Structure 1
């Protein structure tokens, strides 16, 4: 057994183990876990090629079907991202449309591969570079990857913006984690694209070398993914798909009559005073999971108006708006000589932060220095 097969077996074991863990774990967000588990299983099927080739002599229907499972990988990842970003995501019959590329490809292979004898199958593989089916399949997989990756980055961009405009909790770090993983996948797919281009060039040996490199990298990527997943079990699942971006609401406001706009301006002034008084006196920012909906209920301002007030009129995301009050509160504690025994960690939890990294980032953004430096130089 060569090194590549050993690495493949280890990768398969880790992928399937994590998939089993996700399916059996008790959680209210079952859809996300199932989709992630399905993604890992499909990935395991994909990386199993060296092992399958060493066990099966010659082309087979099962081997070809295994290859076409690549058309399910990126759509499942896209659905997983949706399920993680939006709290009200549910798998629906219309999501079956993502199966179409996989079904079309297998229908294309039906006449000249699946339904012929072994001799015809061998001929098909040997002459694959001239087969129109193979060429179309390669074009389709690359187009699919580009379209879905663009869609995934758009979902992440929009959901992160919605989060910043409506929430002030700790889960913003999870967006960064998911973005990182998507970026790693993008790099892998781009390298795979290069491999496939070289396959049909005058340098097929380079394609084979890249293929081996991709197989070896799978083990490290899965291990990294496993480490991240187990250390971030509480992924952000806070965004409601019914929420609108502030830009969309502003566009709607601009379409209103001028008299309505003037009324809105005076109303915003009153609401701003009410909001600032509420933040100063009631200190809702001490709640680490504060949302714009919470503030809306407590001060009696509709969520839409409050969102426009903070995110558009004040030109601050709700996330930054709330953190400003948290940092001001932290600065008061740091200046208080009677509380000098409190550690930075104790202070950040007291003012509503949930992690040291987010506190340090917000503090430096607000004061241009770290909390420790601020305390030492009072």
Structure 2
């Protein structure tokens, strides 16, 4: 079996899995429907972009359809960016302003009209053969490089902000979902950086290396889609997103400083802190694995803004860590109780409000310096 035959088979398998997963994401009933649709669209346009080996078997020579297919690459990273936003923020909605993300795709196609889309086949063939000297193709490769760098930075900025908002306002253990999304973004970034290298080599004296990298990217696409499919099926509720209207504590402090001294006095802070601590001990809201700062605000009758400043600024703790402190203290009490020596660590972590063993172990060791098992043995 030749290299080309193998590449075609890999492409067919990759296309099948991509379209199958896209169909599943669009049709499955879930709260994150918009996120699913965006990722389905990302899968489809990525599949179209990487279908080159199969497309060349069906279409002989350069064509408008073939060029348009390759230009779909300009839609990939903007779609991925919107997908990340939709996953991070529960109130994300598509707005007319997001049409601006289509601008690079429109521009690159418009500049190809005079010397490619609007000419005969012979002129198209000459255009492709002379690709190194064609200003349109050079411009397109520079533009997609700039686009990739800008959007990759935007993706990680969005993830960093969303994670911080989550830590300041939520105490659920679904923070692992953000870690997974971050890992996925890292993988996508590596792929796109390799694609940039491929494009640079294409216009160098080593185009054969560019072709080799292209084959590697084709094959990696299959593994990435399979990896995502495995994650999606093993953990259907991947993310617990936050409200984009929430503000980071540093922004709240900045706003307060512009107005004048912080609006809440030290005495009021002390009273609210005592009220909060008594509530946490008496009502044990931390046993709820999906606890949010809004939940506590409603119960203790302290505005979310003031409560956020109290915990994140005054106590210098993320809400996530603040709640986990009570969970760990509760777990330590169970571990110390000789009458509960038969209760497993797994049972304890669920009892105190965790729903992830890794999150429980990490938080416990951060608080005590021991793993739960070692702590029990040391008693």
What TM-score, normalized by structure 1, do the two folds share?
0.97
The reply to whether residue 252 of structure 1 matches residue 271 of structure 2 is no
Residues 234-253 of structure 1 aligned to structure 2 (within 5 Å): 234-253=237-256
- Deviations along 1:193-227, one digit per CA (max 9) or x if unpaired, are 11111111111111111111111111111111111
- After the TM superposition, which segments of 4 or more aligned residues of structure 1 sit over 3 Å from their partners? none
Q: Do 1:174 and 1:232's aligned partners in 2 also have CA atoms closer than 8 Å? A: no
Taking the aligned partners of 1:224 and 1:207, their CA distance within structure 2 comes to: 25
Which of the numbers 155, 159, 163 marks the counterpart of 1:156? Answer: 159
Aligned to 2:358: 357
Q: Does 1:23 align with 2:23?
A: no
Query: How far off is 1:137 after superposition?
Result: 0.3
Map 1:356-375 → 2, pairs under 5 A: 356-375=357-376
Matched residue, 1:124: 127
Residues 1:75 and 2:78 aligned together:
yes
CA distance in 2, matches of 1:217, 1:124: 30
Distance in 2, Cα, partners of 1:205 & 1:42: 26
Which residue of structure 2 aligns with residue 104 of structure 1? 107
- 1:23 and 1:33 in contact (8 A); partners too: yes
Residues 1:217 and 2:220 are matched in the alignment? yes
Partner of 1:303: 304
**CA distance, structure 2, for counterparts of residue 155 and residue 219 of structure 1:** 27
Q: TM-score, normalised by structure 2?
A: 0.97
Describe the SS at the equivalent of 2:265: helix
Residue in structure 1 matched with residue 314 of structure 2 by the alignment: 313
The number of residues matched between the two structures is: 376
Q: Decide whether aligned partners of structure 1 residues 214 and 238 sit closer, same or farther in structure 2, where only a CA change above 3 A counts.
A: closer
Unaligned residue ranges in structure 1 (runs of 5+) = none
Report the Cα distance in structure 1 between the residues aligned to 2:10 and 2:260, rounded to whole angstroms. 66
Cα distance in structure 2, aligned partners of 1:245 and 1:89: 18
Is 2:273 the partner of 1:284? Answer: no
C-alpha separation between the residues in 1 aligned to 2:43 and 2:62?
Answer: 25
What residue in structure 2 maps to residue 331 of structure 1?
332
Deviation at 1:91, TM superposition (A): 1.2
| Of 43, 46, 65, the match for 1:43 | 46
In the TM superposition, residue 236 of structure 1 has moved relative to its aligned partner by: 2.0
How far is 1:265 from its partner?
Answer: 2.0
User: Which residue of 2 is the match for residue 6 of structure 1?
Assistant: 9
Q: Distance in 2 between matches of 1:266 and 1:105?
A: 62
RMSD: 1.1
Secondary structure (helix, strand or coil) at the match of 1:201 reads: coil
**Alignment partners' CA distance in 2, 1:113 and 1:104:** 14
For the pair 1:177 / 2:165, whether they are aligned, the reply is no
